[in-house]
Homo-oligomer: A and B are copies of this chain.
Amino acid sequence: MTSTATPVNNGVNVDFLLTAREALAAQPEGANFTWRVENTWVKGTHSRTSVHGFFGLGAEQTHHKEFVFDGDHPEVFSAEDQGPTPVELLLVSLASCLTAGVAAVAQNREIQLRSVSATLEGDMDIRGILGVDPEVRNGFNRIKVTYTVDADATPDEIKALVAQSQKRSAVYDIITNPTNVIVEVS
């Protein structure tokens, strides 16, 4: 199988992204986005979060529909397991960010992807959240991401692709660097 006859198509509109980059370099105020979610407690550790509107490109925007997510604790914590745990949802977020980046970078580098999959694992000592030992952190000790990529590229090109996705990933940045969170009660 050769890729010389057909143009590379990973389904990412890179021309649009390059045009947006130029436009926002000239008009940086359009680059200010506010992403937003609404959360409602259901019962116990079960809550429901909806994602619909956001602000960006100088105007209020909406997704084509509202996306709704349940979060809960599992049965081994004596909860009802109505959804994944919050820390699993964080891994979902990181996975979707890095994989979108792999596809976008591959398109920009004219690498045809055939398949991309990843396993993400987060190690955590739950003595932190249970308050057993103040020396134990609440969050993950580390996250390990392992990609398997089948693409029209050498192993080194694939490694470089994944590394560039990491470099441009919003969620990777938020997790690996400190991010300010303000919590208020209205």
Copies of this chain, count: 2
Q: How far is the CA of A176 from the CA of B12 in the complex (A)?
A: 32
Task: Check B54 against A69 for contact (C-beta < 8 Å).
Answer: no
A175 and chain B: residue at smallest CB distance: B179
Answer yes or no: A95 CB below 8 A from chain B CBs. Answer: yes
- The count of chain A contact residues (Cβ–Cβ below 8 Å) is 126
A87 neighbours in B (Cβ, 8 Å) = 35, 93, 97, 170-171, 174
Interface contact A33-B124, CB-CB below 8 Å? yes
Q: Is there an interface contact between A138 and B102, defined as CB atoms closer than 8 Å?
A: no
**A10–B45 Cα gap in the complex (Å)?**
9
Residues of A134-169 at the interface with B, using a CB-CB cut-off of 8 Å, are 137-149, 155, 158-159, 162-163, 166, 168-169
- In the assembly, what is the distance between CA of A159 and CA of B103, in Å? 43
Within 8 A of B (CB), among A8-50: 10-13, 16-17, 20-21, 24-25, 28, 31-41, 43-47, 49
Q: Mark A119-142, 1 if CB is under 8 A from B, else 0.
A: 111111111111111000111111
Known pairs A76-B56, A85-B35, A173-B138; A116 contacts B185 (CB<8 A): no
Known: A41-B116, A163-B183. 6 other contacts (CB 8 A): A37-B95, A45-B100, A86-B94, A90-B93, A124-B170, A149-B185
